[in-house]
Structure 1
Amino acid sequence: MAKQLLSFHHLLLVVFLLSVAAKGVHCFQEKKYYNLLSLQWQQHQSGELSSCLSQKSRSVKGATILEMKHRAYCSGKITNWNKKQQKLLALDVLHVKYLQSRIKTLHSVNKNGVSDTQIPLTSGIKLETLNYIVTVEVGGRKMTVIVDTGSDLTWVQCQPCKLCYNQQDPLFNPSVSPSYKQILCNSSTCKSLEVATGNSGVCGANPPTCNYYVIYGDGSYSRGELARESLNLGTTAVKDFVFGCGRNNRGLFGGASGLLGFGRSDISLVSQTSSIFGGLFSYCLPSTEAGASGSLILGRNYSVYRNSTPFSYTRMIPNPQLTTFYFLNLTSISIGGVALQDPGFGKFPGILIDSGTVISRLPPGIYRALKAEFSKQFSEYPSAPGYSILDTCYNLSSYEEVNVPIMKFQFEGNSALQVDVRGMFYFVKSDASQVCLALASLSFEDEIAIIGNYQQRNQRVIYDTKESKVGFAAETCSSM
């Protein structure tokens, strides 16, 4: 079985390599080596962490690169990592429930194209789980915003604010920006909201501005006016960018100023910057140890990917009723080189890849097969009680080295995502006495499967909306 050796001791590693070499070259080629437990201690340390607000950016010909960080671990003071991990997992459960509900709602659009929901802007996202952030400039003001591939509208909190949650940046003040322009409700831009959502923008009074209202599954929301403003992504300027100026906002958004929407509708950042970046973007999501950062790249200059392995591409699956989301055709999963034998891979209508979901969700039948094979290959370690949606857990507190089977997601077109070891386990407890496999089962076979951001760590994931394909390449995310 293909395994990854995680060890503190170089001597033990050398001995193991010699033993592997004696067994044959093929086994050696399928192994990787990580220091899992030392990483785990780094990501659970307490104290003041670095701020997310002073992030780097740079531009090269044909591309803009923004530093990307994990919001939960780069600002504020974390005094109890165990509770933090448990809270994030509980919120992820709520997020996925709402996402499934939102998808079912979009499927229920009637023949006239009018949805039975009263939510005027699509999102499908619960913001507490949107952990990855970048810094941009809106009207010349720095704003730290959450990156979301499952949303379309970009919005930030604005003055005057009827109700605003606490954020680390000053609120955006449109009255002092000469480039700020309100969008009227009878404009084509306001009416374009109906194309993405089945509902038109709401008209305000005196002046008749185009108002938006985004509501999330837990009651979190943002409402305000639709407007145009200059947006700077690094040194790249985007004029007359359509965004939401939030006057009434409530929810678990952390200290972020708002949301950056990377969905596929006409109002998303990807569509609005298509003439500049060619509809292509990518990210490398860092793991959660203190100080870790990744990058968000926009544009078609492939020379910026010199730190990545070659990309393997798979096509995006079109879904006329769920046009804002990114769907892929998952054909199989292998554990330690053993492919799961389950007929369910050919039955479900694609898997959603999402930067907002934390833990990947699989159809019950496929998850049972995965759990059985992983448990078989990891049987030398003592089990631990499950936690929340995670039911494959172990007590690793007595171990310095752990042999972990390699996990691969296979997609149409012979494309593969090899899960980094940092995306394999969820540490419920900081002493490693409750470490769980970071995947979970959906409740029903007909629900939409999801690849969460945990399994995307230390991978360069590239989205080419013009060619309608997604690519994967191994990359160790690091600061710029």
Structure 2
Amino acid sequence: MVGLGTPNKQLSLEFDTGSFLTWTRCQPCVSPCCYPQNDPIFDPAASTSYAKISCNSAECAQLRRSQCSSAANTCVYEVIYGDESHTNGVFSKDKLTLTPADVFDGFLFGCGQDNEGFHDGSAGLLASSTGYLSFGSPTGASNAAIKYTRLTTLSSGSTYYGLNLVGINVNGQKLSIPASVFSSPGTIIDSGTVISRLPPTAFSALRDAFQAAMTSYPSVPGDGFLDTCYDLNCNPTVTYPKIEFVFGDGVTLTLDATGIVYLLDGTMKQVCLAFVGNDDADELTIFGNTQQKNMEVLYDVAGERVGFAPGGC
């Protein structure tokens, strides 16, 4: 939770490791792009410290994608993420309150009025509300429990945290997926993408293996882009297949249930496989937010590696 505005309004924002811009949904929200969120929508008119960024300002010029609303001399931003979700609205500044001692005047952020593709109830992107993320030295898990894999640089953009993903195992068996499927155009880790994205070949192989292991549970129609779903109302205990991500330096990362299925109704009664296939083989593989929950994720930028340990929350 962070506070935005004067008086500050508490907002649940996700920490996004794959983006350069903080944003939150703002009034007025453009219908039909008003997805449900847990917190009240931020109203800039109710904040005495809020201000819009002008078109000809240095702040507007630093945006990677912007345009000018000439009638109001207002800088308009747009961000499109790797999973095709997007946000656009008014580039703005206001007071940001992290703790009573950590207050930042004139904090730059996007006041989002058209936001699509976000489904987890958060108010926008900044800091994690579910899950545990740490930069630098480990704070929770013992050093022995942390599995480190090296960070890589992608040709498509040096701002991303790249991973050398080479394969996926299901119940101890390596799926028949060539490593080149993941290396071109590459794999990134991104806490701002809710559902992980896989190349079409890799997703088909994972979905087939998952379905083969779940034949004792009744399937149900998919929900939006999630197409492998089950009704578990009559199953007091459920056994999911073991899914592991394999990296090029020999590190194998085992997902727990929260990283394997996505809960449609907030309970374990309606679930879907928590992966989506990309439309095109040339799109990035994304290791997303759902797979990072219940993990301690450590970014050792100086050491050019990222570490994973169980029990983050």
TM over 0.5: yes
Letter of the aligned partner of 2:305 in structure 1? K
Contact 1:146 / 1:256 at 8 angstroms: preserved in 2? no
Percent identical residues? 32
Q: Give the root-mean-square deviation of aligned CA atoms.
A: 4.3
**Residue of structure 1 in register with 2:276 after alignment:** 440
Aligned-partner residue type, residue 141 of structure 1: N
Deviations 1:309-339 (A, max 9, x none): 7322223332354344333221121122222
Structure 2 contact 198–276 (Cα < 8 Å) conserved? yes
> Aligned residue for 1:310?
145
3-state SS, counterpart of residue 369 of structure 1? helix
Amino acid of the residue matched to residue 98 of structure 2?
Answer: L
- What does residue range 384-403 of structure 1 map to in structure 2 within 5 Å? 384-388=219-223, 389-394=225-230, 396-403=232-239
1:141 match = 8
Secondary structure of the corresponding residue to residue 317 of structure 1? strand
CA distance in 1, matches of 2:44, 2:70: 20
Equivalent residue in structure 2 for 1:319, among 154, 179, 194: 154
Give the alignment's TM-score, normalised by structure 1.
0.50
**1:413 and 2:249 are equivalent in the alignment:** yes
User: CA offsets per residue over residues 277-323 of structure 1, 9 Å max, x none?
Assistant: xxxxxx5x74xxxxxxx4555x5453x32489732222333235434
Please report the TM-score for the alignment, with normalisation by the length of structure 2: 0.72
Q: Deviations over 1:180-205 (max 9, x none)?
A: 77766555443222xxx2x5664868
Residue 339 of structure 1: which of 156, 169, 174 is its match? 174
Structure 1 residue corresponding to 2:62, chosen from 192, 202, 218: 192
- What is the aligned length? 300
Change (3 A) 1:352 1:154: same
| Distance in structure 1 (CA, Å) of the matches to 2:120 and 2:222 | 28
SS in 1 for 2:252: strand
In structure 2, list runs of 5 or more residues that go unmatched: none
Note if 1:176 corresponds to 2:48. yes
Please name the residue that 2:22 is paired with.
154
Shift, 1:407, TM fit: 1.3
For 1:361 and 1:145, the matched residues in 2 are separated by: 24
Residue 214 of structure 1 is matched in structure 2 by 78
User: Which structure has the larger Rg over C-alpha atoms?
Assistant: 1
- CA spacing shift, 1:468–1:372, aligned 2, 3 Å: same
The Cα shift of 1:242 comes to: 4.1
Shift of 1:375: 4.3
Cα distance in 2 between the residues matched to 1:169 and 1:440:
28
Structure number with the higher strand fraction is: 2
CA distance in 1, matches of 2:168, 2:120: 37
Work out whether residues 330 and 409 of structure 1, in 8 Å CA contact, stay in contact via their aligned partners in 2: yes
* Cα shift readout 1:152-200 (whole Å, capped 9, x = no counterpart): 2224567xx7x357962663459734xx77766555443222xxx2x56
Maintained 8 Å contact 1:407/1:419: yes
Q: Work out which of the residue numbers 203, 223, 226 in structure 1 matches 2:89.
A: 223
Q: Measure the CA separation in 2 of the matches of 1:446 and 1:257.
A: 29
User: Please, which runs of 5 or more residues in structure 1 have no aligned partner?
Assistant: 1-133, 263-282, 287-293
Distance 1:345 1:231, change over 3 A: same
Tell me the amino acid that sits aligned with residue 176 of structure 1. T
Write the deviation string for residues 257-276 of structure 1: whole angstroms up to 9, x where unpaired. Answer: 953358xxxxxxxxxxxxxx
CA distance in 2, matches of 1:225, 1:446: 31
Write the distance in 1 (CA, Å) between the matches of 2:282 and 2:161: 18
Partner of 1:425: 261
Contact 1:168 1:257 (C-alpha < 8 Å) held by counterparts: no
